[in-house]
Structures are given as structure tokens and as C-alpha cells.
Amino acid sequence: MIQVNHKVLEIEYAIRDVILPARELEKKGIKVMKLNIGDPVPFGLDAPNHAKEAFCKAIKEGKNQYGPSEGIPELREAIAKREKKKNGVSISAEDVRVTVAVTEALQFTFLTLAIPGAEFLVPSPSYPPYLALTKTMGKESVEYKTTEESGWQPDLDDMRRKINDNTAAICVINPNNPTGAVYDKKMIKEILDLAGEYDLPVVSDEIYDIMTYDKKHISPGSLTKDVPVIVMNGASKVYFATGWRLGYMYRIDNDGVLDDFWEGINKLLRLRLSANTPAQYGFLAALTGPMDYLKERMKLLRERRDFAWKRLNEIPGISATKPEGAFYIFPKVELGDRWKTDKDFVLDFLHQEHVLVVHGSGFGSYGKSHFRVVFLPPIEVMGEAFNRLERFMRSNNG
């Protein structure tokens, strides 16, 4: 047997891992309703036309070469202006780096921030790469609790208890995937205060930043005074360009404590050459062009959010907190003695009713006894899926 890195074999990515059993059903000719992946494009919510046209124009004009490792200057300037307008942060293009989606920004941040054995505080439930990437690097993700009763807000006391000499950063996903929670200004200030107390940077994932329903998103970058903040964002969600795989990261560092970190990021960016060059021109057009499409899409998503929340709470054995952002809902399921784990529940639901959702434990230990559903499909599609869920729950009652 060829020896391989066992840490890689231990990686789990629940959102796509559950596709494998669904494919086996599809091979048998069974149609599966897929509510597992947070991709708006298959549901008709595509990138705006002016951005797609700019992408295609860049290809036709021969902009198909390697780009600057840090990103094309025009895009980094546009990102700095966007963040000034959205969050009131004063950054320059030199503080911005273009990445291959947020995942690369996160991967490079984990790789650069601290030595092996370092610990990163991550919210739980959490987007799976926050839990998996560190393992491949000899580092550790330590989950801090978010509580369903408070609308999935962070438990600051739990966060404090888990800080130690090995802690390298506090990570925040806001709006949150998978719960849809949005943190208010008071919560963000308290997280910054805690980070400042222990001289820790804050890593802030803001990919859904203007995709909120009931609260306005607040970035730690807009509130910090002396706490270094690393912000990550990208083209996938608000700009509906998931397949372009473009993201960005920027630093807010008033005291220069992130200088070595930034140099490490630059070295890694050069090592991987560059992000997709023509896609960067498409993203530039998305950032600088009209966003009138977003108002109508948010109205549509609000309607779908409200339907999903109401309908799920009507099903025996299911309860759900109303999401405040993104396009996920994270219901709780009464497992009882019917299923040993939430994954068993998800797989049984898949095989019995041919609807695919994601088990909550795939998002961390505080996600157990839950499952994640995207509310991107039209209401009639979700209605059918939830009717099947109700039939499934009733048929397995007792």
C-alpha cells in the first residue's frame, strides 16, 4: 500500500459527502430533490448580465494570461472602495488580496497565522472547512458554542473559557452558515473586546454580508480600534457567481502587528501564481456596476425564508429558528429512539423520500440533532420537499 497523509483521509465535508449516496439512487433512475448545497445559480439566481459580459469580454480580448498574484490592481481598488462604502473601513488596494474563493483565503490564513499546534476558535455550528482545514496543517479548530435559544448567537462565556496560550485567532462567520444568524453591533464589540484582552486577531467571514433580512450586517472591521482584523468575502453569494471561485481578503491593522502575516500571505499567493484572470474582470464589473437586481432577489428569498420557517415548524418533531441572513435554515429534529444520529435521519430521509439535506453534526458538535436546508428553490418545490418530510416524520413516529 502506498502511504498517504492520514490527516487528509480524515477530512469530512458533509455538504458534498451526502451527495455520494444520492448519486447511487440517481444511477437507479430515482430523481432526488437536492436541498443540500448553497448555490443559488441552479435555482435561476445567476450572476448579473453586466458581470458575465465583462468576463466574456476579457476572454475575447485576450486577458487569459497569469495575473498579478495579489489580484489585478483595478479589482483591488474596487474592493477597497466597496468596503469603504459598505463598512466605513479605510483600506487601500495594498491591504487587499484576491483569492481563489474564500476557501483559499481561509486556508492561507490558517497556514500563516501560527505554528503547528495552534488553536483557532471557530463558531459551532460552523461551515465545515473551518473544522477540517486545520487538521491537515497540524493545528486545531476549537468550537465555541452558539445557542439556538438566542437565535444562534455566540456564547461569549464559552468563548472565553476556551482561550489559552495556543489560541491563534477568533473566527467569526457573520451572517452564519449554516444557521443564518446575524450578530448585532453589541455582540461584535464584545468579541473585539475579548480578542483585545488576549491580544488575538479576529478573522471575519462576511460572504453573505448584504444578504440579510431583519438585521444589518456589522463588520468587526468597522468597529475595531486596536484589534487586528482579517476580513474575507467574495463573488459567490451576493454577486451570484459561485462557479467563478473568486474571493478576497483584507487586513485592518493600525499597529502593524500583521506585517509578517501579510508577507506570509503574499508568499503563498505567489506560490500558487494567480486567481482566474478573466473572472477578475467579471467581478470588477459586478462590484462597480448596478446592483438593482439584489432588491428583487432579497424580496424573493425573504418570501422563501418565511415559507420554509413556517412550514418546517408545522411538521411534528421538527422545530426551526428563523434565519436572519444567508439562505439556510437549520431545523432541530427529535431523533428519539428512531435514529441514533442526525446523519442516520438524513440518510433514511434520502432513501425513503428521495430528498437530500445535510446532517447538522457535519457542521460541528453543537449542530447535532439538526439538519441544514437551503431555501433557494421556488416555494412549490420546497413545499413538495416539506410534504415529504412531514410524511416521513409521521411514518416513523413510534
In-domain check, residue 344: yes
Same domain, 210 and 344: no
241 pLDDT higher than 70: yes
* Residue closest to 323 by CA, chosen among 224, 238, 243, 214: 214
Number of domains in the chain: 2
pLDDT of residue 398: 55
The set of cell numbers assigned to 116 is 503547528
Q: What is the mean pLDDT of residues 326-330?
A: 98
12 falls in which pLDDT band (50, 70, 90)?
confident
CB atoms within 10 A of CB 233: 27
pLDDT given for residue 176 in this prediction: 97
3-state secondary structure of 289: coil
Q: Does 8 have pLDDT greater than 90?
A: no
Q: Which of 245, 269, 288 delimits the end of a domain? A: 288
Check residue 9 and give its pLDDT.
79
320 and 338 share a domain? yes
Whether residue 68 lies inside any domain: the answer is: yes
Residue 5 or residue 35, greater confidence: 35
Instruction: Report which of 124, 120, 101 is spatially closest to residue 111, judged by C-alpha positions.
Output: 120
Q: Is the pLDDT at 150 greater than 60, yes or no?
A: yes
Name the residue range of residue 79's domain.
49-288
Segments in the chain forming alpha helices (H)? 6-9, 14-17, 19-27, 49-60, 73-87, 101-113, 129-132, 156-161, 185-197, 220-223, 259-271, 277-288, 292-312, 342-353, 379-395
At 105-114, the pLDDT tens digits run: 999 999 999 8
- The grid coordinates listed for 109 are 490564513
DSSP for 296-327, please give it: HHHHHHHHHHHHHHHHHTTSTTEE-PPP-BTT
Q: Would you say residue 175 lies in a domain? A: yes
Residue 192: inside a domain: yes
Q: Are residues 224 and 345 in the same domain?
A: no
The whole-number pLDDT of residue 10 equals 80
Do 170 and 252 share a domain, yes or no? yes
Query: CB neighbours of 78 closer than 8 A, spacing ≥ 6?
Result: 284, 287, 288
Last residue within a domain, chosen from 266, 288, 310: 288
In this structure, the answer to whether residues 114 and 260 fall within a common structural domain is yes
18 and 61 inside one domain: no
Q: What is the CATH number of the domain that holds 86?
A: 3.40.640.10
Give exposure, 55-76, as e/b (b: 16+ Cβ within 10 Å): beebeeeeeeeebbbbbbeebb
- Same domain for 17 and 82, yes or no, is no
Domain co-membership, 25 together with 94: no
pLDDT the model gives residue 385: 98
Q: Which of 261, 288, 315 is the last residue of a domain?
A: 288
SS3 109: helix
Has residue 260 been placed in a domain? Answer: yes
Residues 191 and 249 in one domain: yes
% residues pLDDT > 90 (the chain): 91
- Are residues 329 and 373 in contact, defined by beta-carbon separation less than 8 angstroms? yes
The arithmetic mean of pLDDT across residues 357-374, rounded, is 97
> What local confidence, expressed as pLDDT, does residue 4 receive?
84
Burial of 286 (0-12, 13-18, 19+ CB in 10 A): buried
In whole numbers, what is the pLDDT of the chain averaged over residues? 95
Q: Do the domain assignments include residue 1?
A: no
